[in-house]
Amino acid sequence: MPIATKSPKPRLACEIAADRVLVGRLGEDGHSLEACGARELAPGSVVPDLVETNLRQRSAVVDAVQEALGGLSARSHDVIAVVPDAAVRVVLVEFDTLPADSEEAAGVVRFRLKKSLPFDVDKTRVSYDAQKSNDGVRVVAAVALQSVVQDYEAAFRDAGFSPGVVLPSMLAALGAAEAKRPTLVVKVDARTTSIAILSDDQLQLFRTLENTRGVTITGEQLAEEVYPSIVFFQDTYHLNIEKIFVAGIADTATAAPALRGQTGAEVQELVSSSQLGASTGGSVPRWRMAGVVGALIS
């Protein structure tokens, strides 16, 4: 489950969410989509979870992936697979140093993760990105049970596609965010609210919270959920949030006043009209497309 890959990145991305399948194809400019699409899933088709089987109605998911990607794939069947945040644990770990040898470094990361996971780390796929920090090395690790990842990968293969890269939705979405200044990114889906804070394009905080309200969450409720993370960041790093990106809710304008009231920061949609691309024709609301767009343009 790589966070990054050395192979040429696919120009197709497909997100399997709890309630729908979302797809996009990157344009020739490399900065926007030239086509996108979506297929709704019946309730209960996908139940994102760290340890249980996620694809409860497997044939329906395979059919939706095949239909959604079929119209976009052209000659290539390589795809970036975006999976629900609730199926992957993202952990930030601090190290003084990491071994230069990649295999040794991976072993050290796995060892540190053992106590923070609700499952056996030896049965997982672990991918990580090491970022230099003032005090050493900050590792962003994405961890998922191998059986869970394999189930998603098999669904793509059964649909006729090759998932060369697998990403959790929020990490994928961060590819759409410019974050030189302290920036809060909030992404809502049918079951979770994910929160990330970045500064100097480095991830400083990451949390995925259960969200029983789904995409119907109000701006005030969203601000209430986000507030503890803002306070923690400000107290820890002595920095103020200067910009907020929101994805996953239809009306960012209603959430903006509550979020702005906590920080004074500018609030805007994570996916811009230019990133989604004019040629997509508005076939899918851009507030739903953060995972696909971010995966492709990053």
The pLDDT of residue 281 is: 54
The pLDDT of residue 24 is: 95
**In the block, residue with structure tokens 């997982």:** 124
Q: Enumerate the β-bridge partners of residue 185.
A: 196, 245
Question: Measured between alpha carbons, how far is 271 from 277 in angstroms, rounded to an integer?
Answer: 10
The pLDDT of residue 1 is: 54
User: Of the candidates 188, 200, 202, 190, which has an alpha carbon nearest to the alpha carbon of residue 246?
Assistant: 188
Domains plus CATH for the chain?
12-86+145-173+277-297 (3.30.420.40), 88-143 (3.30.1490), 178-269 (3.30.420.40)
% of the chain beyond a pLDDT of 90: 78
| CB-count exposure of residue 232 (10 Å: 0-12, 13-18, 19+) | middle
Interval 228-274: pLDDT, tens: 999 999 999 999 999 999 999 988 888 899 999 989 999 999 999 89
225, 246 Cβ separation under 8 angstroms? no
Question: Measured between alpha carbons, how far is 257 from 271 in angstroms, rounded to an integer?
Answer: 19
The pLDDT of residue 8 is: 76
Strands across the sheet with 243-247, in order? 202-210, 192-199, 183-188, 243-247, 266-269
Question: Measured between alpha carbons, how far is 194 from 187 in angstroms, rounded to an integer?
Answer: 5
The dihedrals phi and psi of 6, each to the nearest 5 degrees, come to -85, -15
Q: Enumerate the β-bridge partners of residue 80.
A: 13, 165
State how beta strands 78-83 and 162-168 pair.
Answer: parallel
Tokens at 111, concatenated: 């060892």
Question: Measured between alpha carbons, how far is 257 from 234 in angstroms, rounded to an integer?
Answer: 20
The pLDDT of residue 58 is: 97
C-alpha 188: how far from chain center: 10
State how beta strands 78-83 and 12-16 pair.
Answer: parallel
The pLDDT of residue 9 is: 87
User: pLDDT tens per residue, the chain (298 residues)?
Assistant: 554 444 578 999 999 999 999 999 999 999 999 999 999 999 999 999 999 999 999 999 999 999 999 988 777 899 999 999 999 999 999 999 999 999 999 999 999 999 888 889 999 999 999 988 778 999 999 999 999 999 999 999 999 999 999 999 999 999 999 889 999 999 999 999 999 999 998 999 999 999 999 889 999 999 999 999 999 999 999 999 999 999 999 888 888 999 999 899 999 999 998 998 765 556 789 999 999 999 999 8
